[in-house]
Structure 1
């Protein structure tokens, strides 16, 4: 299953999104790990042709959907308790992350500080056949700046199956599969979706290649994250 984004109004959705291509970071891009996958940087508006293949079918599995949402107000509520009003009382609060302004991608390797580029999360440690059933991550942009979620248009199972054609069934899809996929000359599109302070997303970040971004903004952005089984439509859609 490819990238599936749920929305109500196509014009509103397109107004908040741009699209680019994936590439491997160059050797002189010292901030990145070797082989990291990054956007090409040539962002453009989504055309109608771009939108059709990433539009979620009406009855698509909720565990594979991306939703652009407005989480409830957190004023006066500890963030770790906010999940009780967001549709999954068992959701796990993962914490907060600060991104400086102007970052094309935001996630780094805590061991050496190098940026890892687009990647797969692995909280649930699911094998190939079950990868599409994992929990989704809910993100709330706490501001003060705008941020983006950037998403690859291919999923972890498709990448793993391509890179390991005879052994994929026994593997755990990994960020390295994505890197090998692009390094071998294949590519995919990357969609970035703008999130103002107070806005958020729910996305299957163990299933879709992704990262955050503050590219083009002059203010830092702090995001809060939860991991849970969020039913489709549990929070109000922004698009």
Structure 2
């Protein structure tokens, strides 16, 4: 595996039309949950409040460099899917024979974040996936996730602007090279008073994303939506542009 954790990667979104990006994105900051917010795990990270439109500086900050590392890039896409087709087969034409279909998840309307801990039902808030169980030096090489919004409602993907390696280096300055970056690193980072800028991307039914959820803080959301939203998920190694971009 490539071991090059030093470069600035963070949140980068592939786009060719800044106005199309702005039309579906908003930005905010985060906070940790309070004790009385018992539907969440203690110390969970959630959006801090009012979402605002993207400014020019926000667009510039997330614009991908000329030669981005595909494994850390976010894309907003329209997967080629017709209702009734076999979901397991959707990624077969995309070039990774080892891609894995993870299944579906249904989110109720008006959920600030959507992922819960299957053991006790409490929401985990913004988090880091760990399917690949990669150590610090290789964390940026993990598989990306494809998500398809099956509807009937609109949903969002929320993404943190700072990557897992940068957070791990900050929280564990003396031994980060021996660590496996984890959601707890982000929770400690926010609890210590350090800010994290987040961005949410609107996904209407039939739309989706390709994103490094092993590398960036994230979760789904149906905030302010009056319909539930089901989503399907896959993990794999896919090059940039493998699905049609919406922006």
TM-score range, shorter chain: over 0.9
Secondary structure (helix, strand or coil) at the match of 2:105 reads strand
**Mean Cα deviation higher: 163-172 or 21-30:** 21-30
Where structure 1 has 5 or more consecutive residues not aligned to the other structure, the ranges are none
Q: Does 1:156 align with 2:188?
A: no
TM alignment of 1:1-239, pairs within 5 A: 1-239=9-247
Where structure 2 has 5 or more consecutive residues not aligned to the other structure, the ranges are 1-8
What RMSD, in angstroms, separates the aligned Cα atoms of the two structures? 0.9
Secondary structure (helix, strand or coil) at the match of 2:189 reads helix
- Rounded Cα–Cα distance in structure 2 between residues aligned with 1:89 and 1:129: 25
Following superposition, the deviation at residue 91 of structure 1 comes to 1.0
Secondary structure (helix, strand or coil) at the match of 1:33 reads coil
Q: TM-score, normalised by structure 1?
A: 0.98
- Rounded Cα–Cα distance in structure 1 between residues aligned with 2:229 and 2:96: 25
- Rounded Cα–Cα distance in structure 1 between residues aligned with 2:198 and 2:114: 15
Q: How many residues align?
A: 239
Ranges of 4+ aligned residues in structure 1 off by more than 6 Å: none
- Rounded Cα–Cα distance in structure 2 between residues aligned with 1:138 and 1:74: 16
Q: TM-score, normalised by structure 2?
A: 0.95
- Rounded Cα–Cα distance in structure 2 between residues aligned with 1:57 and 1:191: 18
- Rounded Cα–Cα distance in structure 1 between residues aligned with 2:215 and 2:20: 25
Secondary structure (helix, strand or coil) at the match of 2:44 reads strand
- Rounded Cα–Cα distance in structure 2 between residues aligned with 1:75 and 1:47: 37
Following superposition, the deviation at residue 187 of structure 1 comes to 1.1
Following superposition, the deviation at residue 76 of structure 1 comes to 3.8
Name the structure where strand makes up a greater proportion of residues.
Answer: 1
**2:3 alignment partner in structure 1:** none
Q: Is 1:25–1:35's contact at 8 Å kept on the other side of the alignment?
A: yes
Please give the per-residue CA displacement for 1:79-100, whole angstroms capped at 9, x wherever unaligned.
1111113343321000000000
